Structure 1
Amino acid sequence: VFLFGSYAKGNIHKYSDVDIAVFSDYFKNMSRVDGIHLLLLRAMDYDIDIEPQPFTMDEYKEPVGLVEEILSTGIEIHAYS
């Protein structure tokens, strides 16, 4: 799990949300929308504006685009065990 975006870069402002990238093979056989929906349901347990993004472990192992940026500028907050 990685924190990325404005919170990771220290550019927080009044309307910043908390961008979280979750890497798991759990998302392998579901659409991106379904993965986001699942994570948003979990994020509702917290009183902060969380913007979760689901990614597979394959995307972690071979990062391109946004995933590459997340891995290079984000902050790992929970390691895969």
Structure 2
Amino acid sequence: MNPDAEIDHEAPMPVYQQLVEILRARIERGDWAPNRQILSEAQLVQAYGLARETTRKAVRVLIDEGVLFTVPGRGTFVAER
């Protein structure tokens, strides 16, 4: 998916999955280097116009896949490949 893509609420793909693909594309493009923090949950909500739970679900998918990791009190970071 295009890293600059916008969320399409009418598309058959669930909104959280669209965000997963956008974030993955941004990481692959190099917007966020390994061990660097991504946007905060609040910033993602604002940037993509999504509900907090939707954003949280998308980030959780990438954490579960090992693409991202969290540091309590610090934020969410890109994992080493």
TM-score interval w.r.t. the shorter chain? Answer: under 0.3
Q: Which protein is bigger by CA-based radius of gyration?
A: 1
TM-score by length of 1: 0.27
Higher strand share: 1
More helix by share: 2
